[in-house]
Structure 1
């Protein structure tokens, strides 16, 4: 009897110790993901990525993170078979794999591949690895997780390489037109139009880039009774009478990485966050305010990044179809040669308003995750010298972002209104088409 008890206790002790060893994984926290996503934003600013390209930098790493984390959380569904072209990621084949660690490492590898300043990403990794070691991570856990993350990264990269991005790098520049209502380069840099072939990038949830074509811009006319003339004069008069509050709103949502400064014969750029970077920053703020865990934070980033990516594709499709002249160009030519907008005009056609599209789509995504009437203080622009702004909901923030383009003098009202429509359609489609939650419920915490 004593012998039986001894062997039973020995077996139980061995089983328990093995279970403890197998189940012990170094904790990876939501703050680690927030730190990584912030570093990606900082690098996109440093490397001066265009708004559409920056959206691509966010979406693939975010999906990589989400797909790994969803493997250990049955309340979330994989996006494989839902997002265009995405196949299931590999399964881990080593019990020492820490899926949370692997999720962030896959994000890191994918982000590093999509940016230029790799050393800045490597600095983040070095600091993070030290932090994990302080939490008790051993070499076997690190190596196993990194190896699995590398396989996931390779899977995501193979998928990304089929989105036509590389092909668009060698396509022709946007040709200038001799038609009076078509876009022309704007001061002070008179840059060529950026990303004229962005509508060829593979969409994520959209069936195609032209799935949601807005109403066309008003017919170009300088007849004082025409809708186009009236909206042109609205931009002219709004800027002339813009007050301090509207200037602050315009500056807060400027998000133009191409602002050029001229001093004598010297021209230099002021580095700013992109519109997508601003909304990924709001996703971070909301996740921290909600005290969301790693999985829910990843869900927020991923849904927002898909909304941004598809929003830019849809918007850019319309921009180069309508190819509409900017207010600054036509006002200087026909109304007032000395007039200048509140904000510097970005280098691409006017219609529709990109910020109106992507802000509405992103706000819809975040509302899905954290609910309506979610109050927050947006401090995203503080590091760029601008004060925080408080909003009672994501939609309220998106509406202000859209109207900021009129206060800034860079968009007509119709581009804003139709941009909101376009962004709403993108947001609605993502909500209806992509099933993130296994139980189809949205856990939200109102603040």
Structure 2
């Protein structure tokens, strides 16, 4: 039932609170403080007409009417910015002022208004000025109504705490966003520099090699009729140059796919901790073959991206160990877990690992997080890395000829 009800609840929440704010259900939970408005009525029903309050008893109908007016202002304040958000904040404060003669707990609305004051644009001093103005109006009303001053003092303490709590949250969110943007920019610039390097290498390599192939092919064409043996040697030379060029191109483009595990760990820590996830890792003192390290680094990258996007975790941990001539990479988090739909990222991760004779295991328990384990044989470098592509003739299988100086 929850599976069908959850999407409807999320759509309903998105209509009230924009998902772009990243607040989740917090604004909905915060409405629980409205219970304080009904405490005087509850005490009256329990027989404690005055309790610790020596003022007039609270009336229920003005309180209910104030809630009806407050709720639209509250949700619109989350959806708008600028002057409209300011108007919502002042409207919430006005609801509190209007209710205070009928309900001594109407200062609850001033707390909500203080929370919105922290989210207004502009410098901190301007937002504090709005907070001070709203509290000043309440102090004047408390004095006019001859209420005890402790009502105002309690409001000031809670309002200031809420204001700076929201201010700190917004500043932390802004800094995390800036850090993430810096991280993305660094990765983009690194990728751009690598592409430029590969482009220069390929240009220099293929420019020379293709020129040589063109010259020798042209020479072989001229020698076909008058000296077939020399033409045959030139064609063999063209074949050798082409194979060497293919080997050099493969070596050059390997840098595009290669990834270092240490660099990926540093990148993963920066990405997760900028999103509020504590990341720890432990590496065994072992030298990995380049192919194994590249695959494990790409596995780590994909797993960390999934944690940051979907897991909603508080903690994540990575451990690299060697077990029975196998490199084992274990990545776990304490996120929400649950069923995992095999998308392109997970499928590509599994294919890369299985292509090298390894295996991938993913365990995900609802409410207890996800654990991913990648096992790769340590000897993959010699057994698989240098294997030629299907249909490719190796240098050992190619005919060995002595190449004389090219004929004029």
Structure in which a larger fraction of residues adopt strand: 2
Which is greater in Rg? 2
Normalising by structure 1, report the TM-score: 0.26
Which protein is richer in helix relative to its size?
2
